[in-house]
């Protein structure tokens, strides 16, 4: 069900939600959090689709803010999506004119679920300082996605300078399976030190930098990044030890090969993760990601040095 509300107010939106819940059977209760999505002037539909899929695991109220650049008096257009058009959530799309967009926190406050955590997500360009952004200050968790920025590397370095507890980035989440496989491999004998590591992948993909930074911080060894234009994200990680190299490579973006000394080659399904999978993973935890913070603030400095 899609309900359009042109030139409306947050009070009228709340009234309509109550009406639909009482008369139409659309349940607005049982939500575990409020997810605020700020898409700027970009297409909101990919982010809404990902949120709808993630909401099947985390029922929530989704508030989507998108810019209305039309030059007219200060108005707020809204759209409510319920039922099949909203997954297990309820989606409220807000299109404020520029005058109203200057006060986004005040705009969304009447629509927040009472006594529920707040997560703010920027699916495209990263704000200068997510923790001090009006929508970031009210949130327990702040999710950015440096892979979608115009300059991913610069965005990642800027985030490292302003990081506070509760910040995370989907470029880090996209590398979760890589980090898990590498850590599990190093937990097996022989328990040798890694002398050098090489991470190969797409030249401007921030997940490549974050995996390299994680290795540099965790293993305290030199790490080299081999950047390949048009590669499918991360393509390989090579760890050099005294007994021989450990190599995890995924040249096709689908299946990885794990090669270790004196062991048969193992084939592992390792597809590039979808946006909805990464978002669902981040919504599972509302506590600070201390490992990400350490890698972002200390590990990146190691590889940049």
Contact 142, 167 (CB under 8 A): yes
pLDDT band at 28 (very low <50, low <70, confident <90, very high): very low
Please state whether the peptide bond connecting residue 190 to the residue before it is cis, i.e. omega within 30 degrees of 0: yes
Average pLDDT over the chain, rounded to whole?
93
Q: Is the pLDDT of residue 204 over 50?
A: yes
Q: Which two tokens stand for residue 134?
A: 């009006």
Dihedral sign, Cα of residue 43, residue 44, residue 47, residue 48: negative
Task: Summarize pLDDT for 224-280 with one digit per residue, the tens.
Answer: 999 999 999 999 999 999 999 999 999 999 999 999 999 999 999 999 999 999 999
Report pLDDT for 290.
96
Nearest alpha-carbon partner for 197 in 169, 223, 172: 223
Q: Would the pLDDT of 87 be above 80?
A: no
User: Strands 118-121, 60-66: parallel, antiparallel or unpaired by DSSP?
Assistant: unpaired
285: confidence class by pLDDT, cuts 50, 70, 90: confident
| Residue-wise DSSP of 41-56 | TS--HHHHHHHHHHHT
pLDDT-derived band at 221 (thresholds 50, 70, 90) equals: very high
What burial letters (b/e) apply to 111-137, b meaning 16+ CB within 10 Å? bebeeeebbbbbbbbbbeebbebbbbe
Gyration radius of the chain's alpha carbons? 22
Phi, psi of 82 (to 5 degrees): -130, 165
Which pLDDT belongs to residue 97? 87
| Portion of the chain with pLDDT greater than 70, in percent | 95
Element holding 185 (H helix, E strand): helix 176-186
Average pLDDT estimate for 103-108 = 91
Over residues 125-180, the pLDDT tens digits come to 999 999 999 999 999 999 999 999 999 999 999 999 999 999 999 999 999 999 99
Residue 190 predicted with pLDDT over 70: yes
pLDDT at 30 over 70: no
Percent pLDDT > 90 in the chain is 83
198 pLDDT higher than 70: yes
Chain centroid, CA 238 distance in Å = 26
Up-side HSE of residue 199: CA atoms within 13 Å toward CB? 26
């Amino acid at each position: 069900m899609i309900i359009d509300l042109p030139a409306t107010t947050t009070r009228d939106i709340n009234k309509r939600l109550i009406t639909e819940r009482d008369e139409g059977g659309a349940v607005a209760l049982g939500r575990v959090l409020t997810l605020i999505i700020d898409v700027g002037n970009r297409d909101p539909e990919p982010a809404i689709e990902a949120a709808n899929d993630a909401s099947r695991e985390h029922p929530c109220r989704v508030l989507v803010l998108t810019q209305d650049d039309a030059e007219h008096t200060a108005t707020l257009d809204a759209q409510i999506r319920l039922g099949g058009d909203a997954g297990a959530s309820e989606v409220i799309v807000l299109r404020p004119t520029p005058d109203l967009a200057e006060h986004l926190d005040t705009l969304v406050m009447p629509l927040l679920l009472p006594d529920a955590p707040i997560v703010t997500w920027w699916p495209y360009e990263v704000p200068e300082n997510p923790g001090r952004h009006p929508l970031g200050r009210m949130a327990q968790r702040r999710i950015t996605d440096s892979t979608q920025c115009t300059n991913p590397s610069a965005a990642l370095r800027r985030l490292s300078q302003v990081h506070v507890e509760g910040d995370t980035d989907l470029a880090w989440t996209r590398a979760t399976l890589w980090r898990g496989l590498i850590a599990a491999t190093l937990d097996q004998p022989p328990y040798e030190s890694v002398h050098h590591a090489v991470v190969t992948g797409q030249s401007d993909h921030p997940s490549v930098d974050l995996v390299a930074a994680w290795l540099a911080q965790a293993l305290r060894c030199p790490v080299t990044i081999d950047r390949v234009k048009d590669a499918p994200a991360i393509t390989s990680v090579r760890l050099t030890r005294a007994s021989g190299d450990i190599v995890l490579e995924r040249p096709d973006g689908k299946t990885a090969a794990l090669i270790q000394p004196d062991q048969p080659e193992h084939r592992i399904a390792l597809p590039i993760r979808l946006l909805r999978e990464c978002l669902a993973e981040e919504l599972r935890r509302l506590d600070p990601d201390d490992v990400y913070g350490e890698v972002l603030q200390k590990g990146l400095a190691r590889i940049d040095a």
